[in-house]
Amino acid sequence: EAKRRDRPQTVRYQAELDRRVQGRLQMVARLHEAIEREEFELHFQPQYFASGREPVGLEALVRWRHPERGLVPPGEFIPVCEDSGLIVPLGRWVLREAARHHRLLVEAGWQGLTIAVNVSAIQFRSGELEADVGALVQEFSLPPGVLELELTESIVMDDPEAAIAVLERLRQFGVMLSIDDFGTGYSSMAYLHRLPVDKLKIDRSFIADVEEDSHNAAICESVLSLARSFGLKVIAEGVETRAQMDWLRQRGCDEVQGFLLARPMPFADVLRHLGHPPR
Ligand code: C2E
Ligand code: MG
Ligand code: MG
Ligand code: MG
Tens of pLDDT, residue by residue, the chain (279 residues): 555 556 677 778 788 888 888 888 999 999 999 999 999 999 999 999 999 999 999 999 999 999 999 999 999 999 999 999 999 999 999 999 999 999 999 999 999 999 999 999 999 999 999 999 999 999 999 999 999 999 998 888 878 899 999 999 999 999 999 999 998 876 667 788 889 999 999 999 999 999 999 999 999 999 999 999 999 999 999 999 999 999 999 999 999 999 999 999 999 999 999 999 987
Q: What is the biggest distance separating any 2 CA atoms in the chain, rounded to whole angstroms?
A: 83
Of ligand 1's listed atoms, the one at least distance from the Cα of 150 is 2
CB-proximal residues (5 Å) to ion ligand 2: 118, 150, 180
Distance 16 CA to ligand 3 centre (A): 34
Distances (CA, A) of 107 to 158, 207, 230: 42, 35, 36
Question: Quick check: helix, strand or coil at residue 233?
Answer: strand
Residue nearest to ligand 1 atom 38, measured at CA: 61
61: which strand partners?
43
Say yes or no: CB of residue 180 within 6 Å of ligand 1.
Answer: yes
Quick one: pLDDT at residue 34? 97
Say yes or no: CB of residue 238 within 6 Å of ligand 1.
Answer: yes
Say yes or no: CB of residue 70 within 6 Å of ligand 1.
Answer: no
Distance 154 CA to ligand 3 centre (A): 13
* Spatial separation of the C-alpha atoms in residues 115 and 97, rounded to whole Å: 11
Quick one: pLDDT at residue 6? 60
Q: What are the residues whose beta carbons fall under 8 Å from the beta carbon of 79, sequence distance 6 or more?
A: none
Strands 40-49 and 255-256: antiparallel
Helix residue ranges per DSSP H, the chain:
2-36, 78-84, 87-107, 121-125, 129-139, 160-172, 189-192, 204-207, 214-230, 242-250, 267-274
Distance 114 CA to ligand 3 centre (A): 16
Closest CA to 261 of 279, 244, 278, 276: 244
Q: Is the ipTM of this complex over 0.85?
A: yes
CB 258 within 8 A of CB 239: yes
Query: Rounded to 10 degrees, what is the CA torsion of 30, 32, 35, 37?
Result: -60
CB 197 within 8 A of CB 179: yes
Distance 5 CA to ligand 1 centre (A): 46
Ligand nearest to the CA of 265: 1
